Amino acid sequence: MVSYLERIGIEPVRVREPNYWYLSPLRSEKTPSFKVNRRLNLWYDFGEGKGGNLIDFGIRYHQCSVADFLNAFKADLLLLAAAPAHTARVQPPQNRIKILEENQLQRPALLSYLTQRCIDIDLARMHCRQVHYELSGKTYYAIGFANDSGGYELRSPYSKISSSPKDMTTIGRGSDVLRVFEGFFDFLSYRTMHRDAHRGPENYLVLNSAAFFSKARPVIESHRQVHLYLDLDQTGKNLTSRALADNKHLIDESGLYQGFKDLNEYLIATSGKGRDSPRQTLGLDLSI
C-alpha cells in the first residue's frame, strides 16, 4: 500500500513504524488522518471512519470497478497480491454505469455548466459528447469525455464519475510537442485560452487520473518536448517533481496558475465569467 501511494505521487506526512500518516487522498484536509499500517498492508481514514486494503482504496480513489483497477495496473499485480484478498468488495452489478446513448452536447444544463466553468462551447462539442447513462436503475445525462479504451469521464454540476473501462486519453496531431493534463476540464481550459492563437500542431494527453502517469510514460518519452499542466495539490506536485527529475525534456507549466488548484480554476478566476455555484445557477435535475 505504501509503495502504491508513492507510485501515484502521494507521500506520507509522518512515519512511526509501522504506521504511515497521510493527508487523505480521498478528501480535502489539513491534518493527516489517513493511516496505512505497513505491516498489515491496510489503510484507515479516520475522517471518514472507513478503511480496507489496496483494492478497496483503488476503486474508491479512481471511482472504478475492481476489474478496471486490476486491468489498469497489470504491472502492479505482485503488489496487489500482497493485499488480503478477502476484504475486496466487488462492485454490485446494479451499481455499474451503463452507457445508453451519446450525441452532441445540447442540454441547457450541461451548456450552462460549461459556461459556468468558462469553457468555450464549440471547443467542448469538438472533444466531448452528451452521454446518457443508467446507474442504479435510474437514467441520467452528463458531459462525456472518451478515453482510449472506450470508457467515459462523466461530468455534470452534480456528479464526477467514470464508466468502464477507465483509461487515459491521447489526441494525436502529428506533432513532437505534447501537452499533458490531469483532467479534461484543464485540457478544455487550455484550448479555450488559446483558441485564437496561431499555434503549430500539438499532441495532447489527458490522464483522467493521476494514477495513469506511469502508464503514460511511453507516450511522454516519445515526444521531443512535453509541457505539464498537473494539479497543484500534493499528488500533482509530487508527480511533477518526479517527472522533471526523470526527464530533461519536460517543462512544468504550473507557474501559470500558481495560487489555484488547477488550470480551470485559474481560468474561472481570471475570466470574470465564472459563477459561484452551478447548483445555485442551474437548479436543474440531470435525471431523464
Percent of the chain with pLDDT over 70: 83
User: Which residue ranges in the chain fall short of pLDDT 70?
Assistant: 7, 9, 71-95, 198, 272-288
Estimate the crossing angle of helix 263-271 against helix 184-193, to 10 degrees: 40
The answer to whether 256 and 99 are in contact (CB under 8 A) is no
pTM beyond 0.85, yes or no: no
Q: What is the pLDDT of residues 231-282, one digit of tens each?
A: 998 888 988 998 898 788 899 999 999 999 999 999 999 986 544 443 333 3
